[in-house]
Amino acid sequence: MTHLEQFEQELAEEIATRERDDLRKVLDSREGRRVLWSLLDAAGVYGLSYTGEAMSTGFNEGRRSVGITLLQKIEDLAPGSFLTMQREVLEEKQTVEGLRKAAAEKDEGESE
């Protein structure tokens, strides 16, 4: 192995380690998990890519592929973290729905 090849290999390993460490830090915070969930949702990971039109279907499938790659990295690094994100999103939706219901009931009470 040449010095350049050795350097390139060490550099690639260092970058991969740094990326794993960075993702681990993001996953360690609720805010980071919320951002990742938003990206997975925007990527349409669990949505349908097919639109009936080849170009837009291809675009959607490309976006979905990026999301699946991110999801695989998340699960490889921290198995179960996707489930944690799902639980947190559900809790947040329930909280928002409870606040929405309370506001609607308050409006009904004021109109009587």
Query: What pLDDT sits at residue 106?
Result: 87
pLDDT higher at 112 or 47? 47
b/e per residue, 27-53, with b = 16+ CB within 10 A?
beeeebbeebbeebeebbbeeeeeeee
In this model, does residue 109 exceed pLDDT 90? no
pTM across the whole model: 0.82
Over residues 10-27, the pLDDT tens digits come to 999 999 999 999 999 999
Angle of CA points 76, 20, 29, to nearest 5°: 90
What is the Cα–Cα distance from 70 to 99, expressed in whole angstroms?
Answer: 32
Q: Give the count of domains, the chain.
A: 1
Q: Could you list the residue range(s) of the whole structural domain that residue 23 is in?
A: 3-111
